[in-house]
Every structure is written in C-alpha cells, then in structure tokens.
C-alpha cells in the first residue's frame, strides 16, 4: 500500500490525537508532511520532528482553518515549500456540547467554519494542482455525528452531515480527473481532549461497540493510509466506519 515517495500531505489539526497519528503514518509511507495546528506551536513542532525522523520533510503551517484567508495562506505556504499538495486530510474540528436553545449565532457559525467550510476552502486551494497532475486524495472526518446526530450537538451534526454531502459531490466531480474523495467515520477513539464532555461522551458509547473498547488514533490513521495509497485508488465517494462494529 506504500505510496510514491515525495508526494506531500497536508493535515489539519495535526498536533495531537488522530491528526498526529495520520502525520506520522504518512511520513512512514514516504510523504512529506505539512503539519497544521491552530494554537499549540510546540505540539506541531514536536510532530514535525517525529515526521522528519522518517527521512522525509516537514513544514509547520500554523493557522485557524475556520478562517477562509487562513486556509488560503496555509495552502500557499505548503505549495511554496513543496510545490504540490497531493493529499489533503481535513481533520481539524470543534465538538462543543450545548443545548440547542442556548446556541448563539456566533457558536453556530464557528462550528460551521471549522467543521465544514474549512474543507471547502482548502479543497479549492489544492484541487487545481491535483487536477493538473491527474492525481490526488482528499479525506475528511464525519464521525457518528453524521450518522445519528446527537442531542446537544446540533451544529456539529449539521456540519458533519454537510461534510458527507461535500465528499460525495467532490468524488463525482473529480473522480474522472484521478482524484478520490472519501470520509472516515470514527467511533469512540481514545484521545486526550480538552473539550468539556467529549471523553464522557466517548466512554459512554463504548458499551455499544461490539469489540468492547475504544479505538486508537493509529487505527484510524491506518485507514487514511490505505485511502491515500495507490492501492486505495478505487475507493471513492465512500464513508468508511472505523468504529469496532458499532451499529450505523
């Protein structure tokens, strides 16, 4: 499943958890890696050093993907450094929990910007080069929010449903040009997370997982590695559940 060396992967939210695991996994497959983070520069730098340990190049491109101009700048930095972005992994996301009647317009717009619109702006920035080269991979993360919806997480559920729609639309439009677009729906994944209620939510879901445990970031990264490989080129427009067999 190894990819051709010296392709470049841009991974948002790559400073920890799934994003970090994807960065390290793709570095092991020979990709140069653009590590994006929004605030923790030290964490992003640490991931970049791990990436370089595989003998590939790494660039730290800090920026808030919830802002369109920042998406453009991050992509421009990646293209200036490496000449191409062959793989885009839209991993950065917000998962706030708040009763629907307490959601403010600012709350709603912020989740839409990070969880959905960032994938639009980054795709628009890197797709022209993918089309020109006749090869590309885009992977997003929907999660169980896009399947079930959850009380207290209306904006997240809406954004993730939207990302699933974007995935299918882009897969059809750009598949003929050698570009695949897919989504991964993780179940509860063991991770250090600062957002209130996230760990409680994940642990509470384990009882519904047939394998009886939470997944790991490395297990999610393994599916990303497959999707962006040469061997994954016939998988397009799909949402792959990585959830231990939880009912979808």
248 found inside a domain:
no
The count of domains in the chain is 1
Instruction: List, for residues 35-47, the tens digit of each pLDDT value.
Output: 999 999 999 999 9
3 found inside a domain:
no
| pTM score of the predicted model | 0.93
Least confident of 172-176, 178-182, 205-209, 241-245: 205-209
2 found inside a domain:
no
131 found inside a domain:
yes
- The mean predicted confidence, pLDDT, of the chain is 92
Judge whether 117 and 109 are in contact, CB under 8 Å. Answer: no
Instruction: Specify the residue for token string 């969880």.
Output: 115
121 found inside a domain:
yes
Q: How confident is the model at residue 3 (pLDDT cuts 50, 70, 90)?
A: very low
222 found inside a domain:
yes
247 found inside a domain:
no
Q: Name the token pair of 197.
A: 């209620």
157 found inside a domain:
yes
Q: Which domain holds residue 165?
A: 8-242
CATH number of the domain where residue 113 is located: 3.40.50.720
């Amino acid at each position: 499943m190894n990819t051709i060396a010296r392709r470049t992967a841009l991974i948002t939210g790559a400073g920890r958890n799934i994003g970090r695991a994807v960065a390290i996994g793709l570095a092991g497959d020979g990709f140069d890696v653009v590590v994006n983070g929004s605030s923790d520069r030290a964490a992003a730098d640490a991931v970049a050093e791990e990436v370089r340990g595989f003998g590939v190049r790494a660039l730290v491109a800090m920026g808030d993907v919830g802002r369109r101009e920042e998406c453009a700048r991050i992509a421009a930095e990646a293209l200036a450094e490496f000449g191409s972005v062959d793989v885009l992994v839209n991993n950065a996301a917000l998962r706030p929990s708040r009763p629907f009647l307490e959601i403010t317009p600012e709350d709603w717009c912020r989740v839409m910007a990070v969880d959905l619109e960032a994938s639009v702006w980054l795709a628009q920035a890197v797709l022209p080069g993918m089309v020109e080269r006749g090869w590309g991979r885009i992977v997003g993360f929907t999660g169980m929010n896009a399947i079930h919806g959850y009380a207290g997480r209306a904006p997240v559920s809406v954004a993730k449903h939207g990302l699933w729609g974007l995935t299918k639309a882009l897969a059809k439009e750009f598949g003929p040009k050698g570009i695949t677009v897919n989504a991964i729906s993780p179940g509860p994944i063991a991770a250090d997370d600062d957002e209130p209620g996230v760990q409680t939510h994940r642990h509470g879901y384990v009882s519904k997982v047939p394998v009886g445990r939470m997944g790991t970031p490395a297990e999610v990264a393994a599916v990303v590695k497959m999707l962006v490989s040469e061997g994954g080129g016939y998988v397009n427009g799909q949402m792959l559940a990585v959830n231990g067999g939880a009912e979808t």
